[in-house]
Amino acid sequence: MAGFFRAPDRCQRYLLPVDMMDWLPSGDIVHWVVDAVELMDLSAFEAEHRVGGAGQAPFAPKVLLALLIYAYSQGVRSRWGIAAATL
């Protein structure tokens, strides 16, 4: 298969995306982290992004910041450790 095609995900369990927050207990720290990041003004980060260009759309700064805060709260501080935990 050519390198510019996305490989199909044949092991997809759900037809429609599910809300992953429903899978977590109500007192989990993830809820607090997501709520705290939603309150932050990240417009300066969003303003730096170029519209258009090659490649896939980038992740939203709120997603990446929430991931970073959660990883730090769990004691994972290296970029390689965070990347490995997200696989």
Distance CA 70, CA 67 (A): 5
> Is residue 80 included in any domain, yes or no?
yes
> Is residue 10 included in any domain, yes or no?
no
The pTM of the whole model exceeds 0.85: no
Confidence of residue 59 (pLDDT cuts 50, 70, 90): confident
> Is residue 14 included in any domain, yes or no?
no
Domain extent at residue 30: 26-49+57-85
What is the DSSP annotation of 26-71? Answer: TT-HHHHHHHHHHHS--HHHHHTPPSS-SSSPPPPHHHHHHHHHHH
> Is residue 20 included in any domain, yes or no?
no
Q: Name the DSSP class of 16.
A: S
What percent of the chain clears pLDDT 70, i.e. is strictly above it? 79
Per residue in 1-45, pLDDT tens? 445 556 666 677 777 667 878 888 889 999 999 999 999 998 888
Domain count, the chain: 1
> Is residue 9 included in any domain, yes or no?
no
> Is residue 16 included in any domain, yes or no?
no
> Is residue 33 included in any domain, yes or no?
yes
> Is residue 62 included in any domain, yes or no?
yes
Nearest to 4 by CA among 52, 50, 51, 56: 56
